[in-house]
Amino acid sequence: MTALQIVEPAAADACCTSSGLPVLGAEEAQGKAQLFKALADPNRLRLLSIVKASDGGEACVCDLTEPLDLGQPTVSHHLKILVDAGLLRREKRGTWAYYSLVPGALERTAGVLSDL
Amino acid sequence: MTALQIVEPAAADACCTSSGLPVLGAEEAQGKAQLFKALADPNRLRLLSIVKASDGGEACVCDLTEPLDLGQPTVSHHLKILVDAGLLRREKRGTWAYYSLVPGALERTAGVLSDL
DNA sequence: CCGCTATATCGACGCCTGTCAATATGAGTG
DNA sequence: CACTCATATTGACAGGCGTCGATATAGCGG
Fold for B27-108, please state it: Arc Repressor Mutant, subunit A (1.10.10)
Distance B49 CA to C24 C1' (A): 45
Please give the ipTM for the structure prediction: 0.85
- Residue A84 is predicted with a pLDDT of 97
Q: Does the pLDDT of residue B113 top 80, yes or no?
A: yes
pLDDT of the residue at B22: 78
User: Per-residue b/e over B9-43, b at no fewer than 16 CB within 10 Å?
Assistant: eeeeeebbebeeeebbebebbeebbebbbbbbbbb
Listing DSSP states for B5-41 in one string gives: PPPP-----SS----------HHHHHHHHHHHHHHSS
Q: Nearest nucleotide to B71 by CA–C1' distance? A: D20
> Which residues of B, range 24-53, sit inside 8 Å of A by Cβ?
24, 26, 29-30, 32-33, 36-37, 39-46, 48-50, 52-53
Choose the closest CB to B37 out of A7, A40, A69: A40
Q: Give the fold, CATH level 3, of A26-114.
A: Arc Repressor Mutant, subunit A (1.10.10)
State which residue of chain A sits closest to B29, comparing Cα positions: A42
Q: What are phi and psi of A21, to 5 degrees?
A: -70, 155
> Which stretch of A14-28, A47-61, B50-64, B87-101 has the lowest confidence by average pLDDT?
A14-28
**Backbone dihedral region of B33: left (phi > 0), alpha (psi from -120 to 50 degrees) or beta?**
alpha
Residues of chain B above pLDDT 70, percent? 82
**Tens-place pLDDT, residues A40-70:** 999 999 999 999 999 999 999 998 999 999 9
Q: Is B108 on the interface with A (CB under 8 A)?
A: no
Task: Give how far A32 is from chain B: nearest CA, Å.
Answer: 7
Cβ <8 Å between B24 and A107: no
**CA–C1' distance A95–C30 (Å)?**
17
pLDDT over 80 (residue B83): yes
pLDDT in tens, B15-49: 544 444 578 888 899 999 999 999 999 999 999 99
The pLDDT mean for chain A works out to: 85
- Measured between beta carbons, the chain A residues lying within 8 angstroms of B21 are 53-54
Instruction: Give this prediction's pTM.
Output: 0.84
